[in-house]
Amino acid sequence: MFERHSSKPSSAGRFFAAASIAIASPVLAGFVTLNLTPKVNSNIRTYTGGTFYPLGGQTRDFAGVPFALALLNGDANSFGVIQLPANNTLTTHSFSVNVFGATRVYTLINSAWGSFGANNGKVEVFGSAGAYAKFDLIQGTNIRDHYQGSFQNVLTDPTVVTSKFNNDVLDRQVLVLPAAFRSQSITEFRFSGNGGNPNGTGAAFLAGATFQNCPADLNNDGQVDDADFSIFVVAYNLLDCADPAMPAGCPADLNRDGVVDDADFSIFVVAYNDLICP
Ligand SMILES: [Ca+2]
Ligand SMILES: [Ca+2]
């Protein structure tokens, strides 16, 4: 039992009662998949060798990260992706997002065609209070042609993880977000660029995007341990997210209802038991 030390009437006399809290498997973290369906414009199962790609319309893990795979126009035999144009017209696809405290963004991106060293576009994320992160799509570094055997097949970024489907691949990139996202929500995800054909520099396609967060990791060090508990207790005693003493963004309000109370503690304690962020 942890007695509150706040002198505020609203919270005086309240107690932590961890042993009595029913833990109801809250969604404490993990992964939030982006639904690409409204913007998909191409079916990679029609690409060279593409019949070996999985079907859209399902959530599927790629090396431990789930992605929501889309269908093109509801076709059950498709795997819909957002294909950037095969010309030099700069095209931007923007999604509204609401994910608090994200630590990473994962994408599944390959290209049609490709020339080593070409910059085919970029992935960007925007935070609710000005946080920003991006990575460029560079042939030979983090993207390559989807079909192994023609165009540009080199990949050198060691953080990219490949899933193989016969002679086709899907490469999974990861964007590690700056700490500023810890106290903000991602509000926008952007995929943009242009093709290079007939120059052949590569037209990227996005097959999936997923955000990862770990709300209970209050000091953003990748673990949920006593250091986070100490921060949580301070916020619990303050109670109200509007309290001027509360850290910016009120990160200890794990269920985002404006107060740090037992409901948040029940979420915190699950993460604390797991120790490592998912
Ligand atoms: Ca931590
Ligand atoms: Ca709360």
Sign of CA dihedral 70, 71, 74, 76: negative
* Rounded distance from Cα 191 to ligand 2 centre (Å): 33
Q: Which domain holds residue 264?
A: 2-27+217-274
Same domain, 132 and 36: yes
| Overall number of domains in the chain | 2
Same domain, 39 and 9: no
Same domain, 194 and 58: yes
* Rounded distance from Cα 10 to ligand 1 centre (Å): 28
- Distance between CA 119 and CA 43 in Å, rounded? 23
Task: Looking at the CA of 100, name the nearest ligand.
Answer: 2
Lowest mean pLDDT among 20-24, 59-63, 77-81: 20-24
Task: Looking at the CA of 257, name the nearest ligand.
Answer: 2
Specify the CATH number for the domain of residue 99.
Answer: 2.60.120
* Rounded distance from Cα 141 to ligand 1 centre (Å): 32
Take residue 93 and report the two structure tokens written for it. Answer: 């696809």
Same domain, 170 and 96: yes
* Rounded distance from Cα 100 to ligand 2 centre (Å): 13
* Rounded distance from Cα 263 to ligand 2 centre (Å): 6
* Rounded distance from Cα 245 to ligand 1 centre (Å): 20
For residue range 206-243, list pLDDT tens digits in order.
Answer: 999 999 988 788 887 778 889 999 999 999 999 999 99
Take residue 237 and report the two structure tokens written for it. Answer: 């005693």
Q: How much is the pLDDT for 7?
A: 37
- Distance between CA 256 and CA 249 in Å, rounded? 10
CA dist 39 → 3, 70, 71, 79, 248 (Å): 52, 10, 10, 13, 34
Element (H, E) at 82: strand 80-83
Same domain, 14 and 88: no
* Rounded distance from Cα 237 to ligand 2 centre (Å): 13
Same domain, 57 and 110: yes
* Rounded distance from Cα 261 to ligand 2 centre (Å): 6
| Bridge partner residues of 60 (DSSP) | 67
Is a pLDDT exceeding 90 seen at residue 101? no
* Rounded distance from Cα 47 to ligand 2 centre (Å): 47
Pick the last residue of a domain from 213, 233, 256: 213
Same domain, 124 and 70: yes
Alpha helices, H only, 125-257: 226-238
Lowest mean pLDDT among 132-141, 147-156, 205-214, 262-271: 262-271
DSSP state of 133: E
* Rounded distance from Cα 59 to ligand 2 centre (Å): 29
Contact partners, residue 166, CB within 8 Å, separation at least 6: 49, 52
Same domain, 13 and 115: no
In percent, how much of the chain has pLDDT > 70?
Answer: 87
